[in-house]
């Protein structure tokens, strides 16, 4: 009986921790009312180019180099 109650206590405490983390995560997303909104864009819609594009280019370059090496070695 002691093993079953220990398992139940462990399961309950894990569920409580998950519930608390879920409920409090929304509090960190709230913003202060004193923060001014972002200014409107002057040039219309613009796309931010940052690290994602660099990762995509590096991956495509690595894939192209691999394909060229495989073609040079005769394996397809």
For the stretch 16-69, pLDDT in tens is 888 887 777 666 666 666 777 777 767 666 666 677 778 888 899 999 999 998
Judge whether 61 and 67 are in contact, CB under 8 Å.
Answer: no
pTM assigned to the model = 0.36
Which has the closest alpha carbon to 65: 55, 54, 51, 73? 73
Confidence of residue 14 (pLDDT cuts 50, 70, 90): confident
Q: Which two tokens stand for residue 8?
A: 């139940």
């Amino acid at each position: 009986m002691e093993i079953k109650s220990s398992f139940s206590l462990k399961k309950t405490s894990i569920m409580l921790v998950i519930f608390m983390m879920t409920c409090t995560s929304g509090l960190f997303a709230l913003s202060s009312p004193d923060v001014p909104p972002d200014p409107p864009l002057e040039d219309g819609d613009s796309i931010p180019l940052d690290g994602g594009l660099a990762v995509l280019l590096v991956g495509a370059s690595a894939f192209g180099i691999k394909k060229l090496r495989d073609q040079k070695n005769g394996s397809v």
